[in-house]
Amino acid sequence: MITTKQAIAKYGTPNEHGTYLTSIQLPYPMRLAWDLNTTVKTMRCHRLVADKFKAVFTDLLAYYGYEKIKELGIDLFGGCFNFRAMRGGSDWSRHSWGIAIDLDPLRNKLKESKRTARFARPEYKPMIDIFYKHGFVSLGVEKDYDWMHFEIRE
């Protein structure tokens, strides 16, 4: 997983304005996890990982199809860029660079383990594999907490 030092070297020093961000078109609409009636068709992320995120969403759509994506809650967007400290720490959250994404946060809570987290179920294994294929890691797989969270490996 990427260290803060490595992240700064590669992606710059994070700032509240996100001067390193770009906006990508999503191949399917995502529902805001905190406001299910609102859907988004674009997402802001670091420009150096934009193509990787796009490849993930494109592969997810190709593998599952939109109906299944909705049924599984893979379209429940929990945030990408968010300038803030890491939960429970003084370090910057990987979201501060726009190099991490949270999905379905209400059913993959920070302190949930694989015993209860949705994304630990077998039907989500292909989703996780797709993230890994494009250079992301799952915190759930790596640490068995924060299963909502995927971030760039390097």
Binding site for Zn ion (CB under 5 A): 102, 149
In the complex with Zn ion, the residue whose CB is nearer, 102 or 112, is 102
In the complex with Zn ion, the residue whose CB is nearer, 52 or 149, is 149
Least separation in angstroms between CB 34 and Zn ion: 14
In the complex with Zn ion, the residue whose CB is nearer, 62 or 85, is 85
With a CB cutoff of 8 Å and minimum separation 6, the contacts of 83 are: 14, 15, 16, 18, 92, 95, 96
Under DSSP, the state recorded for 39 is: E
Under DSSP, the state recorded for 93 is: P
Strand, coil or helix: 122: helix
Least separation in angstroms between CB 38 and Zn ion: 19
How many other β-carbons are positioned within 10 Å of the β-carbon of residue 96? 24
Least separation in angstroms between CB 121 and Zn ion: 19
